[in-house]
Amino acid sequence: KKGIVAIVGRANVGKSTIFNRIVGKRISIVEDTPGVTRDRIYADASWLTREFRIIDTGGIELENASFTEQIKMQAEIAIEEADVILFVVNGREGITKEDNFVARLLQKSRKPIVLAVNKIDDQIHKDNIYDFYSLGIGDPIAVSGSHGIGIGDVLDEIIHLL
């Protein structure tokens, strides 16, 4: 059975950008159901010789839901379905209370978590990753979804944990 990787994180941190990078193409909207908007959620991907399925939980939306309800639902889906969780944060903004909220939800599961600090587009911002140790999730990995930097490091870690 293929391993499942779920991407989790608050809005705008770059989940979809990283998802598209990992999948290697842009995935368009696949389904639209009343109350639930399904926007480019599942795809098959591979790294080295390892094949896996990846879910962008940010594409699963509840209408009229508060931030808390929304992210809670997304984290629950990740915790239930994934073998490895890819937690994405924004390295340009530092830790927000939403990041801490997500970290606490994910920590309650026993699932392995890979922490990607996104938007580290150049070396100048690389030291920003150290703040993220205080999330208590493990070693942060610097990535730039839009430039494709660090994605290989994230995938190495993911397949190691799958």
Binding site for ligand GDP (CB under 6 A): 9, 11-17, 58, 118-119, 121, 144-146
Measured from the CB of residue 16, what is the shortest distance to Mg ion in angstroms? 3
Measured from the CB of residue 81, what is the shortest distance to Mg ion in angstroms? 17
Q: Is 55 one of the annotated binding-site residues?
A: no
Q: Is 60 one of the annotated binding-site residues?
A: yes
Tell me, residue by residue from 37 to 76, as one string, x for binding to Mg ion by CB under 5 A and - for no binding.
---------------------x------------------
C-alpha closest to that of 86 among 60, 110, 106: 106
Interface residue with Mg ion among 16, 57, 70, 128 (CB under 5 A) is 16
Beta strand pairing call for 84-90 and 113-118: parallel
Whether 61 contacts 37, CB under 8 Å: yes
Measured from the CB of residue 48, what is the shortest distance to Mg ion in angstroms? 26
Q: Which partner, Mg ion, ligand GDP, none, binds residue 91 by CB below 5 to 8 Å per kind? A: none
Q: Is 9 one of the annotated binding-site residues?
A: yes
Q: Of residues 122-161, which lie at the interface with Mg ion (CB under 5 A)?
A: none
Q: Is 131 one of the annotated binding-site residues?
A: no
Enter the tokens of residue 83: 């073998």
Q: Is 12 one of the annotated binding-site residues?
A: yes
Nearer to ligand GDP, 49 or 123 (CB): 123
Nearer to Mg ion, 140 or 145 (CB): 145
